[in-house]
Amino acid sequence: MEEKVIIDAKGSNKTKDLVLTGLLTAFVFIATFINFQLPISIHGGLVHLGTPMLIITSVVFGAKKGAIAGAFGMGLFDLFGGWVAWAPFTFIIRGVMGWAIGTLANGKDRNGNNTLWNIVAIVVSGIWMIVGYYIAEAIIYGNWITPITSVPGDSMQIVLGILLGLPMITALKKTKIL
């Protein structure tokens, strides 16, 4: 039986694209399980390696794959990791975060190669993430004060994303695999 390969107008393999997007989503999902919760936080404050993986995905592979990997990877983590109430919020917050990073880092022919723009993308999307989770926690728990305790953990994720993500991005960009 002959294998049918779907090629779009640009000549890219849709099956390969789908598999890559699925793998990136799985990497974000698995990396999010490598986590710890800050003891100062009442309800949230989860720090995990999913954020650096989302940053790497968004800068290296673009806004669309970043949005999908962030939304589904971390949304599924919430469903399977015991944070079910957070899943709809995470789906939106992390999807937009991945899209924003990919768009800013890869805009105007930067292709994720400009470190300053990569940092800007991470910081801007990080502010979105912090505000988004603050509002989500306030809605979930009906309190606008206690979400403040989650801000340090969310901020730490952005710092980890910069410290771990940027070197990995540079290394991946130098390989001939991509």
Can you give the CATH number for the domain in which 22 is found?
Answer: 1.10.1760.20
Mean pLDDT for all residues in the chain: 92
In a domain, 141, yes or no: yes
pLDDT at 23 over 60: yes
87 within domain boundaries: yes
* pLDDT, tens digit (0-9, with 9 covering 90-100), for 59-91: 999 999 999 999 999 999 999 999 999 999 999
Residue 113 domain-assigned (yes or no): yes
Instruction: Please give the DSSP secondary-structure letter assigned to residue 121.
Output: H
Least confident of 40-54, 126-140, 142-156: 40-54
Helix or strand (DSSP H, E) at 37: strand 35-37
User: Alpha carbon of 79 to those of 22, 91, 111, 124, 175: distances in Å?
Assistant: 17, 11, 33, 27, 35
Q: How many CA atoms lie within 13 A of 73 on its CB side?
A: 33
154 pLDDT higher than 90: yes
For residue 164, give its domain range.
14-174
Nearest to 122 by CA among 170, 159, 71: 159
Residue 7 within any structural domain of the chain: no
Listed in sequence order, the DSSP H helices in the chain are 14-32, 50-61, 63-80, 87-106, 115-141, 151-160, 166-174
pLDDT-based confidence at residue 9 (cuts at 50, 70, 90): very low
CA distance 26 to 23: 5
Position with higher pLDDT, 136 vs 38 = 136
Is residue 5 one of the residues assigned to a domain?
no
On whether residue 114 sits in a domain, the answer given is yes
Q: Is residue 117 part of a domain?
A: yes
In a domain, 3, yes or no: no
pLDDT given at position 177: 75
Residue-level pLDDT at 45: 76
Counted domains in the chain: 1
